[in-house]
Amino acid sequence: MGNFVEEYSLFNQPTLRHSFVHAHLLDEAGVHGSIDKLARSHITQQLAGLPAGTNIFDRCAVAAYSTIRELFLNNEFHRAEFPSVLYCCLTTITEKKICDYIDKRKSTLMDYLLAKLKDPTDGHLPTRDDCMNATLERPCSWDQVNIRMSPNQPPTSHAEQKRLMQVCRNQVSQHKSGALISTKGVCVVGAGGVGKTTASLMMILYCICQGSNCAQQSIQRGPKNWLALIWLICSACPVAIICHQGNSLNGA
């Protein structure tokens, strides 16, 4: 939009404002007229071809005028909006960083879950690759309800485990259905050593198999009747699991 011989001479100026003067875009005798003229040229020559809606167009037009006015009058350059190309670049880089972070957290959690659940479930677990590749659209088909009873597990405990796993499955199905009302809390109550932690880890693994991005954290709480608090923190997480040491193992 300006006139200059070469870029070296354009940018070899004391300030950015002097560069606009050098390019004949700023007339010191009529600064306000130069602001309106340059803003009008930017809108008609640059923003007119921007592939975006009216909302983005209006924001960019206001940002361009404010930036030009601030630079020409006060010799200060403050950006209120990112240029479209820079915005797309930053969005792409940020999305990749987020995806890499989620994959790393998911990988660490998967290693922990599979290591902890290998013996109690007698090897009836989904593969690590199936879990890592599971999405909401393409979940991993792992049946956590009908896991074979372990050798030292009483039949009543196995039946209660199956009932709890069914509660978890129903919660996940309800969440994925998009229902407006969904109970997200699942409280696992039982005496010490009855398998609350194992059941909770199986529920977390099932959530991952269904495509949820989950994070697990255990915190010991004050009185001894609290065993642990396990949080599943994610925008797509169907359940929050609380382990409580009581008289029996129940799903609620």
At 29-78, the pLDDT tens digits run 899 999 999 888 888 888 877 777 788 788 888 888 888 888 888 888 76
Helix (H) or strand (E) holding 187, with range, is strand 185-190
Q: How far apart are CA 172 and CA 176, in angstroms?
A: 6
The token pair at 100 is 């890499």
The confidence score (pLDDT) of residue 218 equals 47
Tell me 250's DSSP state: B
pLDDT, residue 191, reads 75
Phi-psi category of 69—alpha, beta or left, where left has phi over 0 and alpha has psi -120 to 50? alpha
Note the Cα 105 to chain centre separation in Å.
Answer: 12
- How far apart CA 244 and CA 252 sit, in angstroms, is 12
Query: What is the predicted pLDDT for the residue at 239?
Result: 52
Angstrom distance (rounded) from CA 164 to CA 200? 9
d(CA 189, CA 179): 27
Instruction: Assign residue 24 a region (left: φ > 0; alpha: ψ between -120 and 50; beta: otherwise).
Output: left
pLDDT at 235: 37
Residue by residue, pLDDT tens for the chain (252 residues) are 777 787 878 888 888 888 888 888 888 889 999 999 988 888 888 887 777 778 878 888 888 888 888 888 888 876 656 666 666 777 788 888 888 988 888 888 888 888 888 755 555 788 888 888 888 888 888 888 888 777 777 888 888 888 888 888 888 888 777 776 766 667 777 777 777 788 888 888 888 888 887 765 544 444 333 333 333 333 344 555 544 454 443 333
